[in-house]
Structure 1
Amino acid sequence: MKKWLAIGGLILVTVIWGGGFVASDIALESMKPFQIMMVRFLLASVLMGVISRGQRKSEEKLKDRAGAIKAGILMGVTLFMGFAFQIIGLQYTTPSKNAFLTALNVVIVPFIAFVILKKKIGAKGIIGAVMSVLGVALLSLNGNFTLSLGDGLTLFCAVGFAFQIFFTSEFVKKYPASVLNTIQMFTAFVLSAISLMIFGENDFQVTIQGWLSALYLGVVSTTICYLLQTACQKYIDETKAAIILSMESVFGTIFSILILHEVVTVRMVIGCAVILAAVIISNMSETSEKIEDKEICKI
């Protein structure tokens, strides 16, 4: 029963995150990128901090406090990079393209693990990577084989999120999730505030829709979703969870069509389908390898 509730919870996360692409697009009508990010991570930092204080037992058990802080900062830096490239890229591309290109982070993670931890990449992981390149070409390349600015920035965003996912999977084994989340969100907030001042985005002239969108992103899409994801993944293995979470790109496209009336071409649909298939295949590789290893051990 808990497993099915967890699956339902993760699906809810993907629906909310899918709506986040539309909320970001609406917020950009009256807010600058780093204004949105600063508000988003300020709300998340405060709420995560309150929740973390309510879990003092985790903090009391924490022996390596300095290590947890460093880990949280590293996660926060990569989280900031992911969201920064994503929302800046969204100014120059559509929410549906932004959503599917962001989903490529799942394909990139095994290659990061290979470079840093020397973990082997399975055949399905390589197939997934090749398919993802094909999907990006169908979805984003222009007639002269150039990549648009928005799509190029979103690809950098996928790399940022891939590192964030990798670091999270490594550090959550050593430190309490509530502590890591709080430090991560606060780090992203500080970097957003610094970027806001550097790029001169101090002038806030925000509409009610803009504030509501930022509120949704900070409270629902960030705080609630990250907490719900952490709780649900206690009952589902990371491979299945990643496949379910990749569905955020599908919901992002659906909401973009329904709310923003985005026009979707046949080529875009094929490109999105290839990228989604690449994400699923690349995540199936780890499970297949574990099964094969067990069979070899039996022999």
Structure 2
Amino acid sequence: MVKLNKKQSLYADMALIVVAIIWGSGFVVVKNGLDELTPLFMNSMRFIIASILMSIVFFKKFKKINKSDIIAGAIVGFFLFSAFAAQTVGLQFTTASKQAFLTATNVVMVPFLFWFISKRKPHNLEILATFITLIGIAFLTLERGVSLNGGDLLTLLCALLFAAHITSIGHFSKKHDPIVLTILQLIFAAIFSIIIAILFEPINLEISGQGWFTVLYLGGVSTLIAFLIQTVAQKYTTSTHAAIILSLEAVFGTLFSILLLGELFTIKMVIGSVIIFIGIITAETKWQFLSKKRITKKV
């Protein structure tokens, strides 16, 4: 198991912020892409493109995969595929703002899944930070009270699956090459997505320039680059930290929606962003810098 140090953890958390920015921008791209592409077909295209590019770029590593790598990649890839499938299908029956909140509840699930798998309890302030972050996400995304329908239940399932995905990456990336693990999870996610898309959706191969931009951006940037960074970064940080940092996706998604889609910016969004930031500071520093200041003053 990799022993974490503060410098590596800091770089890892900074890298995960980049992932959150990329995923935040993906909300706008997906929103536009759904005007032309069906959800499951879009997912299959993004994973096919990402897995092919990844295999070509890292072909030397790809040749060295073993049975243990394949099993780990299949498990992580299944969680990745099923989370996206539940999310995209659920979005057809609920609002985007409600889904953003319900999906982000994975930030609360991750510490407890990590605890269950590793038998090591997260720090109490990390658990507190997840609930603080959840409150912030609620302020940022919810416009009215929450009432659950079929789409919302699928989205809650999606949140659980994303939590399992983050936790499984945290577990396997300590024992396997992160690049190999990324390649394999994308390949398996592509295989699962293709099968489900063929079974449940009409396949339309007539794609416009805008449609190709959507699948290429989602495959090359939001999937290949983002998941590669995430998998490598989680080798040097905890699953709980990763979940809290990645919850910034909701913040960046809101900002991109305001800038590119012309959505309104409200005081409630500001409050939500500040609360999320407090949650991240709580998880990252555990407010130790306050006690250091007190010690300095006494001296």
TM-score (norm 1): 0.77
Going from structure 1 to structure 2, the CA distance change for 1:272 and 1:29 (only over 3 Å counts) comes to: farther
1:267 to 1:8, Cα distance in 2 relative to 1, 3 A: closer
Corresponding residue number in structure 2 for 1:47? 53
State the shift of 1:76 in Å: 0.3
CA distance in 2, matches of 1:78, 1:98: 18
Whether 1:248 and 2:249 are equivalent positions in the alignment is yes
Letter in 2 for 1:43: I
Query: Does residue 27 in structure 1 map to residue 28 in structure 2?
Result: no
d(CA) in 1 for partners of 2:218, 2:37: 13
Q: Does 1:18 align with 2:19?
A: no
Which position in structure 1 is the counterpart of 2:198? 197
Contact 1:15 1:251 in 2 (8 A): yes
CA displacement 1:192-237 (0-9 Å, x = unmatched):
1111122133234533222211110001111122233455567x64
1:126-158 residue CA offsets vs partner (Å, 9 max, x unmatched):
434554665676654855x51355444333222
What residue identity is the alignment partner of 1:280? I
Change (3 A) 1:123 1:178: closer
SS of aligned partner of 1:55: helix
Please say if 1:69 is aligned against 2:70.
Answer: yes
AA aligned opposite 1:109: V
Question: Which residue of structure 2 aligns with residue 296 of structure 1?
Answer: none
Q: In structure 2, do the counterparts of structure 1 residues 160 and 174 end up closer, same or farther at CA, with 3 Å as the change threshold?
A: same
Question: What's the CA shift string for 1:68-92, capped at 9, x where partnerless?
Answer: 1111000000011221122223334
1:1-299 correspondence runs (5 A): 9-55=15-61, 59=64, 65-128=66-129, 130-131=131-132, 139-140=141-142, 143=145, 146-230=147-231, 237-238=237-238, 243-263=244-264, 270=271, 274=275, 276=276, 280=280, 283-284=283-284
* Alignment CA distance shift 1:156-1:268 (3 Å): farther
1:85-141: CA deviations, max 9, x gaps? 222233344555544543332331111122233222443344345546656766548
- Give the drift of 1:41: 0.3
SS of the residue corresponding to residue 91 of structure 1 reads helix
Q: Deviations over 1:47-86 (max 9, x none)?
A: 11113313368x2xx6xx2221111000000011221122
Letter in 2 for 1:210: G
After superposing the two structures, state which structure 1 stretch, 92-101 or 195-204, moved more: 92-101
Tell me the equivalent position of 1:292.
none
CA contact (8 A) 1:107 1:278 kept: no
Q: 2:4 maps to what in 1?
A: none
**Identity of matched residues, %:** 42
5+ long unaligned stretches in structure 1: 289-299
Measured at CA, do residues 115 and 227 of structure 1 come closer, stay the same or move farther in structure 2, by a change above 3 Å?
closer
- Give the direction of change, closer, same or farther, for the CA distance of 1:74–1:225 in structure 2 (3 Å limit): same
Q: Structure 1's 7 and 174: CA in aligned 2 closer, same or farther, altered over 3 A?
A: closer
Distance 1:47 1:33 in 2: 21
Tell whether the 8 Å contact from 1:128 to 1:282 is kept in structure 2 after alignment.
yes
Could you tell me how far apart the structure 2 residues matched to 1:12 and 1:131 are? 22
Give the conservation status (yes or no) of the 8 Å contact 2:15–2:233.
yes
The whole-number CA distance in structure 2 between the counterparts of 1:173 and 1:159 is 22
Aligned partners of 1:131 and 1:240: how far apart in 2? 13
Whether the 8 Å contact between 1:39 and 1:218 is mirrored in structure 2 is yes
Contact 2:33-2:211 at 8 Å conserved across structures = yes
With normalisation by structure 2, the TM-score equals 0.77
* SS of residue in 1 equivalent to 2:157: helix
Q: 1:216 to 1:237 in 2, by over 3 A?
A: same
